[in-house]
Amino acid sequence: MYEIMNKETKKIYGLLGRNIGYSLSPAMHNAAFQHFNIPDQYMLFDIEDSRVESFLKDTVSKGNIGGINITIPYKVKVKEILESNQNFQLDKTAILLGVINTIKKDGTRLIGYNTDGPGLYESLAEDLSFNPAGKKIFICGSGGAGRAICLYLASLEAKAPKAIYIYDVDAVKLAVLKNEFDVYFSGRGVLCEALKNNELALKISECDLAVNATPIGTKETDILPFPVDSVNRNACLYDLVYSRETLIVRTLAKKGIRAVNGLGMLANQGAIAFHLWTGAPLGEVKKIMRQALEKKIKSQFSR
Same domain flag for 122 and 243: yes
Give the domain extent around 181. 117-261
Same domain flag for 121 and 247: yes
Strand partners, 212: 140, 239
Q: Which residues, given as ranges, of the chain have pLDDT below 70?
A: 1-8, 301-303
- How would DSSP label each residue in 110-177? EEEE--HHHHHHHHHHHHH----TT-EEEEE--SHHHHHHHHHHHTTGGGS-SEEEEE-S-HHHHHHH
DSSP 196: P
Alpha-carbon distance of 140 to 225, in angstroms, equals 8
Residue 159 confidence (pLDDT): 96
Alpha-carbon distance of 137 to 204, in angstroms, equals 8
Same domain flag for 247 and 130: yes
* Strand spans (E) along the chain: 12-17, 41-46, 65-70, 88-90, 102-106, 109-113, 136-140, 163-167, 191-194, 209-212, 236-239, 258-260
pLDDT tens sequence across 57-113: 889 988 899 999 999 899 889 998 988 888 899 999 898 888 899 999 998 899 999
Q: Which of 11, 62, 75, 77 is the catalytic position? A: 75
Residue 301 confidence (pLDDT): 57
Identity of the residue numbered 41: Q
Residue 79 annotated among the catalytic residues of the structure: no
Output the domain CATH number for residue 44: 3.40.50.10860
pTM for this model (two decimals): 0.90
Same domain flag for 128 and 36: no
Distances (CA, A) of 93 to 100, 101, 140, 173, 218: 9, 11, 22, 21, 28
Task: Assess if residue 249 is contained within a domain.
Answer: yes
Same domain flag for 186 and 204: yes
DSSP 55: I
Residue 70 confidence (pLDDT): 96
Residue 4 confidence (pLDDT): 34
pLDDT tens sequence across 224-235: 999 999 999 999
DSSP 56: I
Task: Assess if residue 71 is contained within a domain.
Answer: yes
DSSP 276: H
